[in-house]
């Protein structure tokens, strides 16, 4: 997959993570989107490094999607723990 594919996957993974963890985030929509992109990269790296599932060139690989969404969820939870649950 190209870098553009990972960004698109990250945007979608961030939206899914936001749907699974509703609520107001300190960074708003842009912050959540950037967390999704970063989560996709981190989830893909963890999947390739420790789960012995290499990154494929197929955008529709289920394992890649699960790792991207999982990475986004972990980063979103960490972000909420560090910076609070709501904007002031």
- pLDDT tier at 24, thresholds 50, 70, 90: confident
- pLDDT tier at 50, thresholds 50, 70, 90: confident
pLDDT at 85 over 60: no
Shortest CA distance to 75 belongs to which of 40, 23, 28?
A: 40
- DSSP, res 53: -
Q: What is the pTM of this model?
A: 0.76
Please state, in angstroms and rounded to a whole number, the distance separating the CA atoms of residues 12 and 36. 7
Any idea how long the chain is?
88
Q: How many C-beta atoms lie closer than 10 Å to residue 12's C-beta? A: 16
Residues 39/74, Cβ–Cβ less than 8 Å: yes
């Amino acid at each position: 997959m190209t870098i553009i594919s990972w960004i698109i996957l990250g945007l979608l993974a961030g939206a899914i993570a936001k749907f699974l963890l509703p609520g107001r985030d300190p960074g708003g929509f842009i912050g959540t989107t950037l967390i999704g992109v970063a989560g996709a990269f981190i989830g893909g790296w963890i999947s390739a490094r420790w789960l012995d599932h290499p990154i494929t060139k197929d955008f529709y690989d289920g394992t890649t999607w699960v790792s991207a969404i999982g990475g986004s969820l972990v980063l979103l939870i960490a972000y909420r723990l560090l910076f609070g649950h709501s904007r002031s």
